[in-house]
Amino acid sequence: MRVKDKIAMFIGGGSDIATATAVKFIGEGATVILVDYDESVFERVKGSYAGMEDKVRKYVADARSYEGIEAAVKSALDEFGRIDILINCAGILIHKPIDVLTVKEWQDVIDINLTGIFNSCKAVTPGMKERKYGRIVNISSIGGRTGRPGVGVNYAAAKAGIVGLTQTLARELAPWNITANVVAPGPLKGRMFFGMEQHLIDGLIKNIPLGRVGEMDEIAYAILYLASDEAGWTTGEVLDVNGGAYI
């Protein structure tokens, strides 16, 4: 029971990574709060929480809106009195060459993938400081760690920005016993993966030393570690989980 009795908020709560991780958290004793931009997102994943409904809360809020995220945080504090863990999973992909990418497509990815993380970290910080406890885990990507074929500059910039934001946040919040860390996944078996043609899948695998694409559970376990008290002396770190593709 590595997160027993903890309250964990997931921004981008309908994502594949959030779903896999939240189910693990519930199994390890936590109550989870899922935050996403539309109620329909929760409908898509509700089957994953069959029999666990009493351990799940769902709030609708757009990560791009500080006011919306702040309201979701306030609702959680009103109900539970605290948020122990924040997991930032919200993100979108628009992979195009820079000469094709529009200014709006640049901004949309920055707004969700980077500004959204700023919004949620800012919103939970006062409560975590007051309690002198917190675990923040932000999801970056191999696309923000090194230049990758097919990764747009918008996505790479946002995901790299998450690393800088988190490392600075770790220093700022350390005096209050709040840790901030990053998990940077490589290619995963998510909804996008299963829609890919086989030759594209083969191309992905060719560049992964361990010879396969990652499972969502393998990212979930990495997040669980950083969110637990086992990682209480780990902050400002980036955990690359990518089958060796970063080598």
CA–CA dist 85, 147 (Å, integer)? 31
Those residues whose C-beta lies under 8 Å from the C-beta of residue 176, and which sit 6 or more positions away, are 128, 129, 132, 133, 134
The set of residues, in sequence order, having a beta carbon less than 8 Å from that of 115 and lying 6+ positions away, is: 63, 64
Residues 130, 84: Cα–Cα separation, whole Å:
11
B/e letters for 9-24, b = 16+ CB within 10 Å, e = fewer, are bbbbbbbbbbbbbbbb
In angstroms, rounded to a whole number, what is the distance separating the alpha carbons of residues 223 and 18? 10
Question: Is 49 among the catalytic positions?
Answer: no
What is the three-state SS of 187-227? Answer: CECCHHHHCCCHHHHHHHHHCCCCCCCECHHHHHHHHHHHH
Q: Which of 117, 7, 116 is nearest to 56 (CA)?
A: 7
* Rounded Cα–Cα distance for residues 33 and 13 (Å): 8
Alpha-helical (H) ranges within 65-179 are 66-80, 103-110, 116-131, 153-173
Selecting among 37, 49, 133, 155, the annotated active-site residue is 155
* Catalytic residue set: 155
